[in-house]
């Protein structure tokens, strides 16, 4: 992410470009007013504002790897932060500075393709979800979509270190990390994808190998 005024411009632009796909993705979720929510890779912070508007009696946390994103997210949500309804932290999805089982919902908009280690990062998100909680991954491109950007990314994503996954690979990502009730929604002509998985009340992933052996 560029720093200074250019970085802020990029983040403002991202907020408006990603707004429609974010609204579409969030519409697949039922967000209760007392929810505690984490938005990973919060970027310019607009998703935090949207989530706080739904979780009116809860709290929304944002985390981002880029100091510039953290600064803009804080600025955009200054009033909600002052009211104690939003908190933004600097850090990586690979090592979330939150305790186990803290969140009812984790969202990730236009960010998962940049995560350093998708399989283990999905597990790290799983750790901070409460039993019954959900992860929603929302993005405006996936491999196999009927769009120019999806076709271009098929060629260029390996060069820029971007994980450009198809529908089946998204599903496997959730399942292999221990998520259940996995649903992958898509809009092929727009390239939009929304993957949702739940951490079951008692999931296999919560059961240690020694416990599994005794079952």
Min dist. Cβ of residue 18 to ligand SAM (A): 4
What Rg value do the Cα atoms of the chain yield, rounded? 17
Residue with tokens 């985390």: 63
**CB-based burial of residue 200 (10 Å sphere; 0-12 exposed, 13-18 middle, 19+ buried)?**
middle
Size of the site for ligand SAM (CB under 6 A): 24
| Nearer of residues 42 and 173 to ligand SAM, judged by Cβ | 42
Taking contact as CB under 6 A, which single stretch among the options 24-32, 104-112, 154-162, 187-195 is the one that binds ligand SAM?
104-112
Q: How far is the CB of 186 from ligand SAM (least distance, A)?
A: 18
Q: Which is nearer to ligand SAM, 26 or 42 (CB)?
A: 42
> Do residues 116 and 3 touch, judged by C-beta distance below 8 A?
no
Interface with ligand SAM includes 74 (CB under 6 A)? no
Please tell me the distance from the alpha carbon of residue 1 to that of residue 206, in angstroms, as a whole number. 36
The 34-73 contact track toward ligand SAM, x by CB under 6 A, reads ------xxxxx--x---------------xxxx--x----
Partners of residue 38 on adjacent β-strands: 61, 106
Evaluate whether 69 touches 38 at the Cβ level (below 8 Å).
Answer: no
CA angle 53, 126, 43 (to 5 degrees): 45
| Matching residue, tokens 């429609």 | 20
Closest to ligand SAM by CB, 99 or 212:
99
Residues in contact with ligand SAM by CB under 6 A are 1, 14-15, 18, 40-44, 47, 63-66, 69, 92-94, 109-111, 114-116
């Amino acid at each position: 992410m560029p720093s200074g005024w250019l970085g802020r411009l990029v983040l403002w632009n991202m907020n408006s470009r990603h707004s429609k796909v974010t609204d579409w993705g969030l519409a697949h979720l039922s967000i209760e007013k007392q929810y505690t929510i984490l938005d990973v890779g919060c970027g310019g912070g607009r998703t935090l504002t949207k989530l706080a508007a739904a979780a009116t009696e809860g709290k929304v946390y944002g985390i981002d790897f880029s100091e510039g994103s953290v600064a803009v997210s804080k600025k955009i949500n200054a009033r909600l932060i002052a009211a104690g309804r939003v908190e933004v932290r600097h850090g990586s999805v690979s090592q979330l500075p939150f305790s186990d089982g803290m969140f009812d919902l984790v969202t990730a908009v236009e960010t998962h393709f940049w995560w350093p280690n998708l399989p283990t990062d999905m597990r790290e998100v799983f750790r901070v979800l409460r039993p019954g909680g959900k992860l929603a991954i929302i993005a405006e491109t996936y491999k196999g979509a009927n769009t120019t950007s999806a076709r271009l990314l098929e060629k260029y994503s390996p060069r820029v270190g971007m994980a450009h996954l198809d529908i089946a690979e998204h599903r496997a990502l959730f399942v292999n990390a221990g998520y259940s009730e996995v649903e992958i929604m898509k809009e092929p002509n727009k390239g939009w994808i929304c993957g949702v998985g739940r951490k079951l009340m008692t999931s296999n992933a919560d059961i240690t190998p020694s416990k599994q052996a005794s079952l």
